[in-house]
Every structure is written in C-alpha cells, then in structure tokens.
Structure 1
Amino acid sequence: MTTDFAVIRDTTPAAAIPKGAVVAMGNFDGVHRGHRAVINACLEMARKHGKPAFAVTFEPHPRSFFSPEKPQFPLTDVTGKLRLLHGAGLDGAVVLSFDAARAATPALDFIRDELHGRLGITGIAVGYNFHFGKGRGGSPSLLAREAPKLGIEVDVQPHVDVGDHPVSSSAIRAALTEGRLVDATTMLGAPWFVTGEVIHGDKRGRVLGYPTANIRLDPHCGLKQGIYAVRVGMNGRHFDAVANFGRRPTFDNGAPLLEVFVFDFQGDLYGAKLDVAFIDFIRPEAKFDSIDALIRQMDDDSLKARAALAAAPDAFPKLGEIG
C-alpha cells in the first residue's frame, strides 16, 4: 500500500488542510468492526460527493486524560491506529491533541470552530454512542441537529453486534486479557497486532534451539500471558511463528516480554521493526522442572502453532504505511 496518507495535526498550517473532506470521527482504539461501520459510512458519503475521506481522532485517549491514575490497556498506539485507518481506505487522518483546552471546549464551539471553520468538512459519520466536547455534551443527536445548519451532512451508525453482544474496545480488551483470541479477532474483524523493535535478550533461546526475537510491549498491555500462534510482518512479507508473552517463570520471572520464534527463518533480526499478529492462544505460561521438559513442551507448542496458522493462511490485519 502506498504512503499517500495525509496526517493533519494541531500544528498543521490551515493552507495544508484539504477543505471539503468527509470525516469519520471517533477515538478508534483498535479500529474494530464498529469503527469500520463508521469509516465505511464516511467512505460511501465521500464517494457520493467526490470528496476526500478522513478520520478525526484524539490522542491521547480522553479516558487517559481524565483518569491518568487508571492506565488503560491500549489496543493500538497512535501509529498502529493510523496504519489501520490507512488500510481501511481513508485518505488521511486528523489527529487532535486531547488536552485541558480541548476538554473545556463546548461541543457547539467544536463543531463551529474546528469541524466547520478550521477543517472545512462537508460531511461526518459517527457511532451511536460517540460523545465530544465539554462534559461530553456533544452527542450524535446534537451533531445531527446542528451540523447541517453549517452545510455538514451527518450519518450516525448504530451499534454492531457479534452474537448478542455489541462490539466495543472494552469488550476486546477483556477478551485479550482472558486469552479469548477468537472472540477478540471476531470483534476486531482481523487479528490483533503489536509493532515493536527487536531488542537483545539473554540469548537463552539459542541454547534451547529456539532463538527468539524479543520485543517489549506497552507497560499497560493486558494481554494474557502465555503461548500464541502468531504471524510476523516484516519488509512486506509474512512469516509464521510461535510466541511467548510473559515473565519466563522457569528462569527469572522477570518483566513481561514478547519472545517470537520465527519458523524456517535464518538471519539477524536485531533492531528490526516487526508487526506481530496474534492468531491463536495455545496455553498459559507455566514453570517447568527441567530444561528437557521445557524443550519438549516448546516442540509441542510449535506443532500446535503451525497447525493453527495453516488453518488461517491469510490472517493478518490490513495495514497501510505512514510516511
């Protein structure tokens, strides 16, 4: 996918902002199936009117601003979010800093000054439960009532259900925390993924016959610790792999680390940036009484991971690149 994806921030000069765009507005943590319904409505409206389609999103997540003492498990960092938005077919994204000034901006002022005045949008799509502005005073109904007065078309999307349960970022976090990877993937519409740089470890994997690429995840990552079948994206190619996320209780019970063993791969990965998509949960992390017992289990884990990956040959999130 091309890098032709515009990212507009608070500091972007007005002259560099394409006027007349149709936007999908939301926090978009995870860019799940509910978010994609909003994005698709935006794309359809943009195509109908021959306008560019953008996302409008906020960083950090407003919940992190209002409750810093309660760190939230992020489904995506800002770059991962932008890559998913690009992969969804949008032309760009507006990333608005969520700070004290923005939190104090009344909803009507935000519509008039930001959406209409600075961004010059002609259409907007939001989800049924999206709120914005001071005291969360901006509701979909207020947007639908006031924005058309400024020449802005409004589309409000209903909730998206999986079974009897509405899709939400909090439900996906809960599924990942409990190791319910199938549920998380179903709600996301694609495997959950992380991106990180390979760092040096203790080289123990080489001795065990499983040299791993080690990646530190966000300290607030709530993923269930254990063994996973994963698929690795690197330099435009995908590789099957098995991974452990945890504290290595057989050895040091240290800080959580993602350790990825890439099948049938030869080469030095230190310093490389990898996308790791989680395809299936195999088992919880465990402590072993001997190295031989651990190696036997790792052999079994690898067989199970290969089988899970063979059953999901094309499973990987659609990601664009951000220039």
Structure 2
Amino acid sequence: MAVVAVPSLAKQSHLYTSADEVINSLLDLQLEKWGLPAFQDRIEGTLPLEPWCIGGPVIKGFGRGSKVLGIPTANLSPEGYSAILSEHPAGVYFGWAGLSGRGVYKMVMSIGWNPFFNNAEKTIEPWLLHDFNEDFYGEELHLVVVGYIRPEATFSSLEALIAKIHEDRKIAERALELPQYLKYKDDPYLKSSLHQEN
C-alpha cells in the first residue's frame, strides 16, 4: 500500500519520512503515479477552481519582483486574509485582476512562503500580465482567482525560478482565453475596483 502525506503545517514535509510521497495539498495529487486513472478535470495544464475573490490596496513588497526577478508583482497585504491564506495551499494560481480606474487584466499569482527566498510569512503576490508605465502602490486591486497551476517549489538557481515563473505566465495566458475561464473577466467584483478613485 502506498502512503501519500499532506502536511497540515508549512515546511514540515521532513517529518513524513515513511510516506511514499509528500504533497502540498490534494490539488497536487496525481493518481496516475500510483497506477490509478488520472483525474479528468485538468484543462491545458490547469485545475479549475470554484472562483474566490481577494482584494485591497497594493502595498510595497520585498522589492524582489521587479529588481531581482524582472517580474513586477502587485503585492497585497495578508492582513485580514488569514482565513483565505489558510484555506488555499501554497502554490501558483491564476485569474483576473481589476485595478482601480485602469481595467481588467490577466494575472498569475503566487501564494506561499517563496522557499527560494525562505520567507517567514505566507504572502500573496499577483503578477498582472500587462506592461504598466508606472507603479500603482495604494491603488485598489481586486482579484478573482479561477484556477490552479502547480504547487510551490524550491529551485536550485534564480534562473530556474525565473524560467518557471515565465512558464506559469504562458500557461495562465493560454488558459484565460478558454471559455470556462474567460467568462470570469466580467465578474462584478472586478468591476467594483474600476469605479474607485485613484
């Protein structure tokens, strides 16, 4: 009999040495690895989710997104979202972002501890897939998360991390053109951020 463990606490996988596999969440379970039929609900490398929303003002993060990675993220404060952060496992998600007064954009988002940088706190770091000419700290950002791409991972080099993030972007961009994800671009929650003052 094979044993798959799903630790309830972050950074505790080392405690499950007798398990055949340790996964981040049941979202990452791959039945075919154990000789069982694969789940049939994956679409173009993504797992559709019941949409969920999160929003707030854009805050300054660690400064790594733009400066170190070349990937500008629009960080949200985790304050007030502890329940959402505990409900959703660390990983890469995607969906739509409404930015106050500007529009609705595709986004790919990391939730987690960013093991490459060994963060002490779980963070929410969406990357709006659009080129902006200026920062928008303090502006209201509303997100509708519609799918899951992969679990959070550790990388051997910064280059490997950057390459994987760009791969996640391509997956999200393609998936968000599919009707089952595209329909959420018109979600009223996204539109509510557009009516707020900058």
The TM-score bracket by the shorter chain reads 0.5 to 0.7
2:104 matches 1:235: no
In structure 2, do the counterparts of structure 1 residues 179 and 232 end up closer, same or farther at CA, with 3 Å as the change threshold? Answer: farther
Query: 1:280, 1:251 → 2: CA distance?
Result: 25
Consecutive unaligned residues in structure 2, runs of 5 or more = 1-24, 29-46
Q: C-alpha displacement at 1:254, in angstroms?
A: 2.1
Question: 2:149 maps to which residue?
Answer: 282
In structure 2, do the counterparts of structure 1 residues 194 and 179 end up closer, same or farther at CA, with 3 Å as the change threshold? Answer: farther
Query: 1:315, 1:306 → 2: CA distance?
Result: 14
Q: C-alpha displacement at 1:318, in angstroms?
A: 2.4
Given that 1:193 and 1:275 are in contact with CA atoms closer than 8 Å, whether structure 2 keeps it comes out as yes
Report 1 or 2 for greater relative contact order, CA contacts < 8 Å, sequence distance ≥ 6: 2
1:68-121 per-residue CA deviation (whole Å, 9 max, x = no partner) reads xxxxxxxxxxxxxxxxxxxxxxxxxxxxxxxxxxxxxxxxxxxxxxxxxxxxxx
Given that 2:95 and 2:106 are in contact with CA atoms closer than 8 Å, whether structure 1 keeps it comes out as yes
Query: What is the TM-score of this pair, normalised by structure 1?
Result: 0.40
Q: Percent identity?
A: 31
Aligned with 2:167 (options 300, 304, 319) = 300
Question: 1:313 maps to which residue?
Answer: 182
Consecutive unaligned residues in structure 1, runs of 5 or more = 1-176, 186-190
The CA RMSD measured in Å over matched residues stands at: 2.3
Larger gyration radius, structure 1 or structure 2: 1
Query: 2:104, 2:26 → 1: CA distance?
Result: 26
Q: C-alpha displacement at 1:280, in angstroms?
A: 1.3
Query: 1:253, 1:235 → 2: CA distance?
Result: 29
Q: C-alpha displacement at 1:179, in angstroms?
A: 4.2
Question: 1:220 maps to which residue?
Answer: 83
Runs (4+) of structure 1 exceeding 6 A deviation are none
Query: 1:278, 1:228 → 2: CA distance?
Result: 7
Question: 1:247 maps to which residue?
Answer: 113
Paired residues, number: 141
> Which structure shows the higher helix fraction?
1
2:87 matches 1:198: no
Question: 1:188 maps to which residue?
Answer: none
In structure 2, do the counterparts of structure 1 residues 178 and 199 end up closer, same or farther at CA, with 3 Å as the change threshold? Answer: farther
Query: 1:268, 1:178 → 2: CA distance?
Result: 36
